[in-house]
A and B are shown apart, each in its own frame.
Chain A
Amino acid sequence: DTTVKQNPRYKLARVGKPVNLICSQTMNHDTMYWYQKKPNQAPKLLLFYYDKILNREADTFEKFQSSRPNNSFCSLYIGSAGLEYSAMYLCASSRDRVAEQFFGPGTRLTVL
């Protein structure tokens, strides 16, 4: 099974409210990624876990948090959503750094 699952598929949030997105995979992949995708833009890497080690991008360091309670699950947490957070959020996992990434279906977040 090469499925990566994401919940919820759609999320409506109010400005200033927290948002928590969930991702899971059963492929026993060491690495899990979160990307933000806006129309006509490249998928932007927000953070990734290699095993239990979290790597966050410098320009989004303070905006996004994450946890990985076990190998299969990874969350993306926004403490206070702003309008600019409206986007598709893609989770992906990979076996190692040169292997392909398997993407989930995405969560479309709309902040009002």
Chain B
Amino acid sequence: QQKVQQSPESLIVPEGGMASLNCTSSDRNVDYFWWYRQHSGKSPKMLMSIFSNGEKEEGRFTVHLNKASLHTSLHIRDSQPSDSALYLCAAPNDTNAYKVIFGKGTHLHVLP
């Protein structure tokens, strides 16, 4: 069964620091990913998606994708306390692209 693995489970960074989150799919046919952010008590909202090998930057957020290794990473520079949330990585299912498989997430805590 396809899995999406995220690491670390929990991450603490100081305000202004860099947070790096990782995600890997077990399915070799996956070639794009989504990153969602879920603040406490709220529903998940998409943060970024990446469909091409390489890097995509939006403000303080940068996503990398390496299709060969089925790995994506999310980097948050100048982390703010408001970035504290659960970050979920998601990938399409190998046999039905309408299905989306989520990882367990990384809990990010940014300390002021």
Contacts and interface: CB of A to CB of B under 8 A. Distances in A.
A50 interface: yes
Interface in B47-64: 49, 51
Contact of A42 (B4, B34, B45, B99): B4
Interface stretch (A13-21, A66-74, A79-87, A101-109): A101-109
B105 A97 contact: no
A45 B43 contact: no
A28 interface: no
Contacts of B105: 42
B43 A48 contact: no
B32 A98 contact: yes
B18 interface: no
Nearest to A58: B1
A101 B105 CA distance: 16
A43 B43 contact: no
21 contacts: A33-B100, A42-B4, A42-B88, A42-B105, A43-B88, A43-B102, A45-B100, A48-B98, A50-B98, A55-B96, A55-B98, A97-B92, A97-B98, A98-B51, A101-B34, A101-B44, A101-B46, A103-B43, A103-B44, A103-B45, A106-B43
Given A40-B104, A45-B99, A100-B34, 8 more contacts: A42-B88, A43-B88, A45-B101, A48-B98, A48-B99, A55-B99, A101-B44, A103-B43
